[in-house]
């Protein structure tokens, strides 16, 4: 290789323009909202029978924090405001209990 490199007189400023459009940053995906950390998240189906466990959380109630079970519990229309267990036994607080677990009955009881 004995060829001399000849300086070129090309205009070094004639750099082709970069016409690549600037891609805007894609919208970040919204973070999924995690379920509340307290208790088990129960998915209620409407008009469905469940076996549940529940407990009263009223301070001072005779049933406070006693986990009880209801082998047959109806979900009504599936709306949380209509899915309630009232602590209605004698001398109890007659307030809503917290539903801890719910297992869908399989098979569902046959309604008469």
Q: Which of 92, 96, 98, 100 binds Zn ion (CB under 5 A)?
A: 92
Which residues inside 28-87 make contact with Zn ion, applying CB under 5 A?
A: 56, 58, 61, 63, 87
How far is the C-alpha of 90 from the C-alpha of 36, rounded, in Å? 33
Query: How many residues of this chain bind Zn ion (CB under 5 A)?
Result: 7
How far is the C-alpha of 108 from the C-alpha of 112, rounded, in Å? 12
**Minimal distance, residue 53 CB to Zn ion, in Å:** 15
Q: Are 98 and 66 in contact (CB under 8 A)?
A: no
Examine residue 99 and tell whether it contacts Zn ion (CB under 5 A).
Answer: no
C-alpha distances in Å from residue 52, one per residue of 1, 73, 81, 94, 112: 89, 7, 16, 18, 22
Q: Which of 53, 73, 75, 93 binds Zn ion (CB under 5 A)?
A: 93
Residues forming contacts to Zn ion in the complex (CB under 5 A) are 56, 58, 61, 63, 87, 92-93
């Amino acid at each position: 290789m004995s060829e001399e490199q000849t300086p070129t007189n090309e205009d070094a400023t004639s750099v082709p323009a970069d016409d690549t459009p600037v891609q805007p940053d894609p919208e970040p995906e919204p973070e999924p909202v995690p379920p509340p950390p307290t208790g088990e998240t129960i998915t209620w189906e409407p008009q469905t029978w469940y076996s549940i466990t529940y407990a009263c959380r009223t301070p001072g109630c005779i049933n406070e924090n006693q986990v009880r079970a209801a082998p047959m519990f109806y979900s009504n229309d599936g709306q949380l405001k209509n899915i309630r267990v009232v602590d209605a036994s004698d001398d109890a607080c007659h307030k809503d209990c917290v539903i801890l677990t719910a297992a869908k009955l399989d098979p569902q009881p046959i309604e008469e």
